[in-house]
Amino acid sequence: MDGNIFNSSGKPVATVKGSSVYDLRGNKLYNLRGTNIYRLSGELVGHLASTSGTNTRLDSATDKLFPDR
């Protein structure tokens, strides 16, 4: 899945390329396996709503993974 991740307010917060999640500056933040989001250390930290389509919107509980910068 490649595409964009938007927070619950509709603001773009990250991009997905393959199985990696990057912030808007291009820094790798998380690994993605299916709909599960893992820290680079391997710890499960959240879930995406789905992997269909190119744009994914987060629910407010998952917003904390992508703080406003």
pLDDT (0 to 100) of residue 53: 61
Mean pLDDT of the chain: 85
Residue 69 inside a domain? The answer is no
Domain count, the chain: 1
Per-residue model confidence as pLDDT tens digits over 30-60: 999 988 899 999 999 988 776 556 677 777 7
* 0.75 surpassed by pTM: yes
Sequence-separated contacts (24+) of 23-30 with Cβ below 8 Å: 23/66, 23/69, 24/69, 29/65, 29/66, 30/65
Pairwise CA distance, residues 11 & 19, whole Å: 22
pLDDT (0 to 100) of residue 43: 95
Q: What CATH number is given to the structural domain containing 12?
A: 2.40.220
Residue 41 inside a domain? The answer is yes
